[in-house]
Amino acid sequence: MMATANFESETAQALTAGGQGGLAIYSLAARHQLTPGTENLGTVRAISAETGKTEWLYEQRAGTMSLAATGGGLIFGGDSNGRFRAHDHDTGEILWEVNLGSSVSGYPITFAVDGKQYVAVNTGSGQVNLTPELRPSRGTNVYVFALP
């Protein structure tokens, strides 16, 4: 049984002291880039808390944003390209996916009303764009989905 899941971005950052721009107080300029040797920016990795072993791995070109795990065996998460999906907690299989059109920038939450379960998430500008071929809108919205 999986006890934890985490998300990662395959990014590197080059910092230059005394550079122009950036935070003047620190005299640092940062340049974000993909980690050399990788093409995918986003990763969801399920790690067993008992063994420390990776149980499953999901990689994608778009950067992974925030995740939320449920007691019902689902992991909800979105990406910088506007995809919001539900993974199976044990296998990583994508059980459901929708394109929201804008970066999924907030943490998904789940809640119940009168015994009905819902998941909500917001969109908007999310992160530095290291995948220029992906061009989601910058629209800010809140989406709420009822679970079956």
Q: Where are the domains of the chain?
A: 4-146
Per-residue pLDDT of the chain (148 residues; tens, 9 = 90+): 444 555 444 554 554 555 555 555 666 666 666 777 777 778 888 988 899 999 999 988 888 888 999 989 999 999 888 899 999 999 999 999 999 988 888 889 999 999 999 999 998 875 556 666 766 677 788 999 999 8
Predicted TM-score (pTM) of the model is 0.74
- How far from chain centre, in Å, is Cα 106? 9
Q: Give me the pLDDT at residue 38, please.
A: 76
Q: Is 59 helix (H, G, I), strand (E, B) or coil?
A: strand
Looking at residue 45, its amino acid is R
- The number of residues making up the chain comes to 148
The CATH class of 4-146 is: mainly beta
Quote the tokens at residue 41: 């920016």
Between CA 13 and CA 35 the distance in angstroms is 9
